[in-house]
Amino acid sequence: MKKSMKNELKIEGESYKTQQTAIHKRKKRRPSRVHSVQSPAILLIGMLSRLAARTVQEVRPLVLVRPTSTSAVQRAEQRDEANFPRPVRPVEPGKVRLGFVPEEWFQFLYPKTGVTGPYVLGLGLTTFLCSKEIYVMEHEYYTGISILLMVVYAVKKFGPVIGQTLDKKIEDIEQSWRDYREGSIIQVKESMEKEKEAQLSAKGQDMLFDAKRENVALQLEAAYRERLARVHSEVKKRLDYQLEVANVKTRLQQKHMVDWIVKNVKGSITPAQEAATLKQCMADLKALAPKA
């Protein structure tokens, strides 16, 4: 709703800031207002009409408007970069001449007094102070000269070495930050690669599962067939047994029957019959003998 409001106001020619300020002012004055559920269009029209009446009285220039409720992010976006530039870290120390006089002073005096101006100023000022005894050269002065000589010698001799050592240490510190940052980037990339590999191997795992499943199915099939064969052989054994039993039974019955018949026949042969049969057989044989 805010965006539509903003667009409306842009068309109307008012700034969003004045709108917000006015709204917040209005909100501040009436804190116990009850928000009823209305359509945004009605609310908008109502607000605009009230504001139109109000802004006629409270005309304020855009420059003095201060947003009353913004967060740090909004403040950063609203920052005037031209008039309030962000501070930049200076890498080199400020330029100086003669070791302690800033270059900017020389540039400041250049238009009026030229190149030699600041030097003339310094020389003349010191001469004036010394000659008029405003600055008295007593014991502190000689201490000052000694210190100046010592400091100049130390800076010329040890300055570059110490400066380079310290610069190297600063560079090491900054390098450690960069290394940490790059190291974590490399680590994240490596873990990305490992993740991809893990995904691939997970896919391979799928195939492995399928193969295992197939294997298990084969094993199950083999076991089933083996059991089927066993059942078949068991059933056949039982049937064979029954068959054998039946055969044996038949054979025994037959044998018993034959034996019984023979026994009965043998028993039924009387001795007269036997003698008669024997005689007959001998007669037959005698009859046959001349033929052979």
174 lies in the site for another protein, by CB under 8 A: yes
The dihedral over CA atoms of 10, 14, 18, 20, expressed in degrees to the nearest 10, equals -40
Q: Which long-range contacts (CB under 8 A, 24 or more apart) does 145-152 make?
A: 152/99
How far is CA 37 from each of CA 34, 40, 84, 167, rounded to the nearest angstrom?
Answer: 10, 9, 44, 65
241 lies in the site for another protein, by CB under 8 A: no
156 lies in the site for another protein, by CB under 8 A: no
Structure-block tokens of residue 226 = 């083996």
The C-alpha atoms of residue 103 and residue 169 are separated, in whole angstroms, by: 28
The C-alpha atoms of residue 223 and residue 226 are separated, in whole angstroms, by: 5
173 lies in the site for another protein, by CB under 8 A: yes
Q: List binders of another protein among 79-98 (CB under 8 A).
A: 87, 89
Residue carrying structure tokens 């908008």? 44
167 lies in the site for another protein, by CB under 8 A: yes
**139 or 266, CB closer to another protein?**
139
Shortest CB 189 distance to another protein, Å: 26
Tell me, rounded to whole angstroms, the distance of Cα 169 from its chain centroid. Answer: 35
160 lies in the site for another protein, by CB under 8 A: no
67 lies in the site for another protein, by CB under 8 A: no
**46 or 144, CB closer to another protein?**
144
Shortest CB 145 distance to another protein, Å: 6
144 lies in the site for another protein, by CB under 8 A: yes
Q: Which stretch binds another protein (CB under 8 A): 40-48, 144-152, 229-237, 249-257?
A: 144-152
152 lies in the site for another protein, by CB under 8 A: no
The C-alpha atoms of residue 94 and residue 106 are separated, in whole angstroms, by: 13
The C-alpha atoms of residue 250 and residue 243 are separated, in whole angstroms, by: 10
Checking DSSP bridges between strand 96-97 and strand 101-102, what pairing results, if any? antiparallel
284 lies in the site for another protein, by CB under 8 A: no
Binding-site member from 169, 230, 238, 251 for another protein (CB under 8 A): 169
Hey, which residues does 96 pair with through a beta bridge? 102
**112 or 139, CB closer to another protein?**
139
- Residue ranges in contact with another protein by CB under 8 A: 87, 89, 137-147, 149-150, 163, 166-167, 169-170, 173-174
